[in-house]
Structures are given as C-alpha cells and as structure tokens.
Structure 1
Amino acid sequence: MKFILFCQNNYAFGILEPIKQVLETKNHDYIWYIEDKTDKDFPYKSDNYTNSISDLETYDSDVIFVPGNQVPHYLRGLKTQIFHGLAGEKKGHFRIRHYFDLYLTQGPYFTNTFNHLKSIHKDFDVIETGWPKLDIYGKDKNIYNEEKQQLLKMHNAKTLLLYAPTFSPKLTSAPHLISQLKTFASTNKDYLIFLKFHPLMATEWIEKYQELAANTSNIIFQTEKNIIKFLLMADIMVSDTSSVIYEFLLLDKPAITFNNISKEIHWENSNDFNKLEELIKNNLQEDPFAESRAYICQQFHPYNDGKSALRMVEATEDYIKTNGVPSKRKLSFTRKLKIFSIFGRPSKQN
C-alpha cells in the first residue's frame, strides 16, 4: 500500500513519526508532503518527501494521514483525519469540513461526538485508535530522565517547570505572565523553567520571552519542535487553553492554566495571573487534582500500550480491504474553491 504523511505545519512531524515507523516495519511505501514554510524544520530529509501537490497526484496513494484540517479532495486515497491535539473545547475541533473519509479518534470523549456527527452527515466513518504522538508514553516515558537530572544539577535546581501557552491571541496567557514568570524565576532559583511556544505564536511574544530567557539564568527558551520531550521532563506545567494540557495530564502530573475555556476542567485553573507562585507551589506540594486527572486518562486517551500508530495503520488497511479506496469526496463548490485557494487546482482531471 502507498501512504501520504500530510504536513502543513511543523508540529505534524512528531504526530506522524510513529506512523512512519509502523509503515517501515510493514514495508509499506510512503511519502511526506511538506509545505515550503516548514521545509527547513523537516527532520527526515533522507525519507521520500515533496513540497509539490502535483507529485502527490502522480504518487496515486491509497491512504492520506492528515493531522490538520484540510487536504486536497482531488488526491487519490482514503483521507484520514488523525488530529493535531486533544483540546475538544477549541473552536473547530468537531467541525465537519467534509474533506475526510475516516476519523481516527483518541478516546471516548472524541469518539462519541464524532459518531453522533456521523449519524447526521453519513459520509465518513469513525474508529477509535488512540493518538500516535503519545505512543512514547507507553514505550519509554523515562527516556529523558538522565538529561533532566544533568540540567537540574547544572542549574543547581530541584524542580523543572514548563510554560507552554497557546498562540491564539484571544486565549494565550503570554502577554499576562511575562512579568510574573520573571519575578518567579528571580525569587525561586531552585526552579529551572522551560519556555516552549507554539510555532504559530506571535513574533512579538516569542522575541520578548527569548529576551527574558537570555537575561535569566534559570529560564531556557526551547526551540525544538516536538514538545513531547519537555512534557516528559517537566514536573509541573503552566499554560492556558492549549491541547498540550491534556498531553501533560496523561502523564499524571499537575498542571495549571489561566482563563481556560473548557467546560470541564479537571486541573487547577485561575483568572488571577498574580497567583502564579502560590498555585505552582500548592499544586506541587498538595497536588489537589490528582484524582480528577483519572477522568482525562479514561476519556481522552485510555491507551498506554504505545500502539496507537499501529492501530491507525491497521484501521486503514482493514477499511480498504473491506471498502476499497474511495473514488472521490462530494464537496460543495465553496469547499472546492477553498481547497483550490490553499493547494491549487489539480493538474489532471478529477
């Protein structure tokens, strides 16, 4: 079988990499699609990859794995949505855009809603598989322990705090926490603070936090694209309305958010930015939401076997064995125009 790993943003690399490994193990053929803007960040240059949609038309795939919201409707292949996060409360997470034949969901919270939407639209299927980005949790969650201990020793620190805000201007805490983080770092030298920003974060705030890190000995601005490493290393995380909160909670560690918009919050959430230090210390010492985190594990991602990528590949294999490769998607004229505006028109008639 032939697979496309479809990347519009660099955060997709870490989501698709476990699938790539499964495809290699099964001796399937695959090609990465990488947009020009992320080419410089692509870590698998020895793999087969392209920046050209016309190359994908020629490739004639059987399956397209998409951790994003759009995919050209005119490409051949089972168009498979695998998602780029776990934040169901974010605008658009459950929006049906009609580009996908198959939704591979992370856990019951997502599966139940997409099955309901399936009963309405009747033009896609839903299979629960877990999420490949988190396969490392079931395989080697302690992989960075030695590096963490070396960093803590180097900075004479005891605790590693991760600050990972979202990029959305309406939801991000970045403009509101910069002075509080500066104060916290200066008065709590036993903390090492990692800053990990979303690649779409406004340049203004990236630059301001880079300057803060450059002038503060116990703050490090991380530029590595895949946040998983820092989730595994951190003892506690601070964020806002970001999917990464759920990824962190699945490690059974305390998290703090500011002005989170979720309807169901199973962690510490506050609208008072000045309470940063108090909340950090209380959650580390008392961990008041330890029992609440069990809900997230059960509903959002109940898989800890490290085999979600394998389930995804096998789900598409079984789907095609039963149904064949879908010939085309029925889209409205408006949806087709949107795809043409993003990816261009097909080079061959569809």
Structure 2
Amino acid sequence: MLASEPYAPAILRPLAAQAQARGHRVAWLAPDAVAAGLRADESRLCSARALWRFRPHAVFATVNRIPPFLPGLQVQLFHGLNLHKRDPRQGQFRMLGLFDLYCAHGPATTGPLQALAGQRRDFSVVQTGWPKLDTLFAGPCAQAHALRAAAAGRPTVMFASTFNAPLSQARDCLPVLEALIARGDRYWLLTLHPLAPADLRQRYQALAGPHACFLDSAHLAAMLHAADVLVCDTSSVVEEFVLLDKPVVTVCHRQPQPCMQDVRAPADIDAAIQRALAAPHALSDARHAYAASIHPQPDGRAAERVLDAVEHRLRSGSPGLRRRSRRVFRRLWRSWRLWRSLLPGKRLRGAC
C-alpha cells in the first residue's frame, strides 16, 4: 500500500482489509508524517532491503506519480472522483507510463481510459469502483448518529474545501461562515483537505463550539452521512455527497454539474442553503444521473473488485500488451526524493 499522502490511508484501508481476509500479506510504504497515523497492525516497510525481501506482487497507489522502479504490478486507484478539478491532460487522463493497471470508478473514467489504453497498449483498465467508498456505502456509523444528535434538531450543514489555491474557496468563505455559525440556527460540520495551510486550519478549528465542530478528513464518511446539505468548492467531496443523493451547494465550482446548486460568491451561500433545505429532492434525478456516470456501483464491494482484477492480471499476464517502459531516469531527482521519504532506512534507527 503506497500511502505517500495524508489522504491515502482512507482509500487503501478497505483494500488492505480485503486482501488480508483473502490470506494475502500486506505492507505499507509511507513517509514519516503519514506513517505516524498508521495503526499498530499496519506493517511499514522502511528500507529498500525490506521492500525487496517483501517482494510485492502488486503496489497500490492513489497519486499520479510514483517511483518508476518499484517491484510488482503497479496499480492506480486515484485519489478522488472529481473529473473537473483539472484539465484532463493534467489529471486522471495524463499518462506517464508508470502504471500497469488502472482501476476506474465508472463510465466517465472507464471510457476515456480504455481509449487511451487502446492507443498506448501498455496498460489495462478495469471498472472496479473506488475502495474508499466501501466505508461510505456501509451506512451511517455511531459517530454519524452522534453528530446528528449534537445538532439537537437543527439542520446539519457540512463545509469542506480542497487545498489547491486556484480552486479553494476556504479563505473567501470564512467571514461568511463565521456569521452563519454565530447565528446558531444550523449545526455545522467543518473539515479541510489534509494539505490545507496550517493557519487556515487553525482559523476553522477556532469556529468549533455549540453551533459547529471541526473534524479531520479521517471522519469524512461520518460527516457525509450526518449532514443534510454540503457546501463545498471544486473538491471530490462533492461527488461523494452526491452519491448519497443529498443536495450540494458549490461555491465557484470549476465546472458545475446540473445536480449542483452553484453560487459565484460566498455571500450567496445562505440563500442557497435555504433553498436546498426547503426542497432537498429538487435535483434528485440529476444526482442519480451523475452518480451513474461517476460511480454506478453502490454495493460497497469496490475493494473486492480491485483485488479480483489484480489477481486475474497476475494469473493471466498481459497478453496483447507491450512491455511498459520503466523510464528509470525520467524525473530521476523527484523520484529519488520520493523514494527516500518512503524508505528512510537507517535514518529511523530501528523505528520500524
């Protein structure tokens, strides 16, 4: 499990659990900051020697770039559902020759990826769904019920934001949110992307009180289940909320969809929330249509399908595919720095 970013464990853990249930050995590659959040039963590989001794049959990644010389089958899971966050040539459809298997989420990604696979003929594509959502589709947890109880009968509104400076509306929305939270007629669930600036995170944490709570993204599934309405920018959290068939208010979305109520200024958030609460089913048909395109399988078994695809690929090999160029020297310095952060080796002095 290649957990190079703070958001990766939530995506990889359902897959790790399913792999262990099938009798597979599982180990984690993570920099120190991410490794600090690993559980006691999540084994970390800390050196190149440990990695080669482990000899993984497959490496699962959530980021676009990985070191090009990792052993085993390289599997791309992606780190979000949002197709509109970046130009397609810079996002999910940018091919860097680093992966053997792409696990697509739904028709919106499967079709374009299969077209690229036909052109390049050095990787394969299987529509599996996104393992992170297995937890979401399992239904509300005890924490979700606790968050609803904290609202004490008030409408529950969630705010989330991406960290990308051109797309994030967290700073611009802050004065409006301060006033809306102080009003006290709604209960607010606040979260920010794990990579959000520290000063901004502190200001949002300071809003916690009788009318709001701030939670890290590790609690995202509980928050999504507890909320009546989501306020968000161009973040993949929007797509996750849509899959629950709940109303979304977006702020300056890069490419708003018919299922989103998009406002172009933070001052319009309050009125948009009121409209969403008054008619929560108004855009339900549009939400269902969007969900069918981005993630049509809400059965919570994406991790199973990912493993099925990988096991099939390992058994059958890669008939009809060209050998993928490893490009060992491409972006060598960037790859070396990532390699050193994932496998710090002796610098840990036996911490692993």
- Give the root-mean-square deviation of aligned CA atoms: 2.4
Q: Is the 8 A contact 1:73 1:329 kept in 2?
A: no
1:311 matched to 2:305? The reply is yes
> Who is 1:274 aligned against?
267
Structure 1 residue 337 displacement after superposition = 4.4
* Cα shift at 1:106: 0.5
The CA distance in 2 between the partners of 1:268 and 1:259, in whole Å, is 10
Structure 1 residues 198-252: Cα deviation after superposition (integer angstroms, max 9, x where no partner): 0100122112222233xx5312111352412211111111110001100110000
- Structure 1 residue 107: Cα displacement: 0.4
Corresponding residue number in structure 1 for 2:18: 22
CA distance in 1, matches of 2:256, 2:248: 17
Cα gap change, 1:186/1:219 in structure 2, threshold over 3 Å: closer, same or farther?
same
- Which residue type is aligned with residue 59 of structure 1? F
Q: Counterpart of 2:2 in 1: which secondary structure?
A: strand
Q: Which amino acid aligns with 1:87?
A: N
Deviations 1:58-91 (A, max 9, x none): 3111011111122222221110000110011122
Question: Could you list the runs of 5+ residues in structure 2 that have no partner in the other structure?
Answer: 345-352
Q: Which amino acid aligns with 1:195?
A: L
Identify if the C-alpha distance between structure 1 residues 328 and 97 changes in structure 2 by more than 3 Å, giving closer, same or farther.
closer
Partner of 1:251: 244
- How far 1:168 moved relative to its partner? 0.7
Instruction: Name the SS for the 2:166 alignment partner.
Output: coil
- Give, in whole Å, the separation in 1 of the partners of 2:229 and 2:256: 22
Indicate which of 167, 180, 185 corresponds to 1:190: 185
- Please, which of 215, 231, 240 is the counterpart of residue 238 of structure 1? 231
Matched, 1:58 2:53: yes
Three-state SS of the structure 2 residue aligned to 1:127 is strand
* Kept in 1: contact 2:108–2:293 (CA 8 A): yes
Aligned counterparts of 1:14 and 1:271: Cα–Cα separation in 2: 31
How many residues of Structure 1 are paired with residues of Structure 2 in the alignment? 336
Aligned to 1:178: 174
Partner of 2:349: none
Residue 140 (1) aligns with residue 144 (2)? no
Worse overlay, 237-246 or 284-293: 284-293
Distance 1:18 1:223, change over 3 A: same
226 and 220 in structure 1: CA distance in 2 versus 1, 3 angstrom threshold: closer
The verdict on how the C-alpha distance between 1:53 and 1:190 changes in structure 2, with shifts beyond 3 A counting, is farther
Structure 1 segment 16-165 matched on structure 2, within 5 A = 16-42=12-38, 44-91=39-86, 92-141=91-140, 144-153=143-152, 157-165=153-161
Letter in 2 for 1:320: L
1:208 matched to 2:207? The reply is no
- Check the 8 A contact 1:33/1:51 in 2, yes or no: yes
- Tell me how far 1:264 sits from its aligned partner: 3.9
Q: 1:196·1:222 contact (CA, 8 Å) conserved in 2?
A: yes
The TM-score, its normalising length taken from structure 2, stands at 0.89
**SS in structure 1 of the partner of residue 126 of structure 2:** strand
Displacement of 1:46: 2.0
Q: In percent, how many aligned pairs have the same letter?
A: 26
Distance 1:130 1:26 in 2: 19
C-alpha distance after superposition, 1:136-169 (max 9, x if no partner): 343334654532343223xxx4221110011111
Alignment correspondent of 1:228:
221
CA positional deviation for 1:25: 1.2
**Alpha-carbon shift at residue 21 of structure 1 (Å):** 1.4
